[in-house]
């Protein structure tokens, strides 16, 4: 009994409130994700997680927080600020509330990547009246928490969620300041950068720190795309360590296409000094740096092309 009381005290201390389930303030706001190939705009506030835009049926649904567990830090986080967490929520759908005999619980595992990027995995569990419900007996990631064992998802098992109105982040955390020559392939064809020069400029100023992609289009006009940096982090996929970065450009038509998750081998430049990155809207589409629908090869531009001081 004494051991149980100590465990409950620790859990209560870690979660701050057993009975008043509120999302951490850093998660509050509007987010964008592509879940099961469906673009969604989400809102998180207090103890609510609801879909602001998406399929008409989904807009009638929302989830409320019932319990939350903050996980111990993992080495894979490598210093990212924020906490991984498992949240037990109850699913509500105003259109179908009388069609389900029982309570639809949702276990949501959340991996913190930056103030602008998180990744989540949802699992739905239906329980019935009289059944004892606790996140520790229905949520797979914490059913063995009393043993100190946790089953958080890998990147490939999650959906990436981007903050709708992002906070400024330093692009210099992703690329060292400078001007880079790049080759870009989409669907195994050199599309954007088929004409030289194709340059990526990472030159922070006192006012802003962005990435600027400039290239010559097929109509011989110079095109410029400006990217905001949403954060970077490290993670392990299939036993290998990778560095990830998230970007968004308001110059690209289509919300889904405007968000980019990038991945490269961690601390591994090629003998020729080039870096290979792969890209997708969702990080779970990136398995390695060889097979991807979008590829980016980056090398230093000629010595005469530098950031202006």
Report pLDDT digits (tens) over 154-168: 899 999 999 999 998
- Nearest by Cα to 64 from 44, 46, 85, 48: 48
Q: Which residues pair with 212 in a beta bridge?
A: 201, 226
> Is the pLDDT assigned to residue 97 strictly greater than 70?
no
Examine the pLDDT at 16 and tell me if it is beyond 90.
Answer: no
Provide the pLDDT for residue 74.
65
Provide the 10 A C-beta neighbour count for residue 296.
Answer: 23
> To the nearest 10°, the Cα dihedral for 163, 166, 170, 175?
50
Tell me the per-residue pLDDT of 260-298, one tens digit each, with 9 for 90 and over: 999 999 876 666 678 889 999 999 999 888 888 888 888
* Whole-number pLDDT of residue 4: 33
- What is the model's pLDDT at position 96? 57
Nearest one of 167, 165, 164, 160 to 33, comparing CA atoms: 160
- For residue 214, the model assigns a pLDDT of 83
User: Under 8 Å CB-to-CB from 297, ≥6 apart: which residues?
Assistant: 182, 183, 184, 274, 275, 276, 277
pLDDT digits (tens, 9 = 90+) for 224-257: 889 999 999 988 888 888 999 999 998 888 888 8
Do residues 214 and 192 touch, judged by C-beta distance below 8 A? Answer: no
């Amino acid at each position: 009994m004494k051991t149980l009381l100590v465990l409950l005290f620790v859990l209560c201390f870690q979660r701050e409130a057993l009975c008043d389930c509120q999302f951490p303030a850093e998660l509050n706001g509007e987010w964008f994700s592509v879940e099961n190939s469906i673009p969604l705009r989400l809102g998180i506030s207090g103890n609510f997680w609801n879909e602001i835009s998406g399929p008409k049926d989904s807009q009638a649904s929302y989830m409320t927080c019932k319990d939350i567990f903050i996980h111990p830090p993992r080495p894979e986080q490598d210093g990212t600020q924020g906490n991984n967490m498992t949240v037990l929520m109850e699913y509500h759908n105003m259109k179908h509330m009388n069609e389900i005999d029982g309570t639809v619980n949702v276990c949501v595992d959340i991996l913190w990547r930056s103030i602008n990027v998180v990744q989540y995995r949802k699992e739905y569990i239906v329980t019935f009246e009289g059944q004892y419900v606790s996140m520790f007996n229905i949520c797979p990631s914490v059913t063995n928490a009393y043993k100190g064992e946790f089953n958080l998802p890998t990147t490939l098992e999650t959906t990436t969620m981007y903050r709708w109105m992002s906070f400024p982040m330093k692009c210099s955390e992703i690329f060292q300041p400078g001007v880079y020559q790049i080759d870009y392939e989409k669907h195994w064809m050199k599309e954007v950068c088929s004409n030289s020069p194709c340059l990526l400029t990472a030159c922070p100023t006192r006012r802003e720190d962005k990435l600027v992609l400039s290239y010559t289009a097929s109509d011989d006009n110079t095109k410029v795309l400006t990217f905001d940096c949403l954060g970077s982090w490290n993670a392990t996929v299939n036993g290998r360590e990778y560095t990830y970065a998230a970007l968004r450009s308001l110059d690209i038509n289509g919300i889904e296409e405007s968000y980019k998750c990038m991945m490269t081998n961690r601390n591994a430049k090629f003998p020729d000094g080039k870096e290979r990155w792969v890209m997708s809207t969702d990080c779970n589409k990136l398995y390695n740096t060889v097979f991807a629908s979008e590829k980016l090869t980056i090398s230093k531009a000629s010595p005469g092309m530098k950031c202006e001081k």
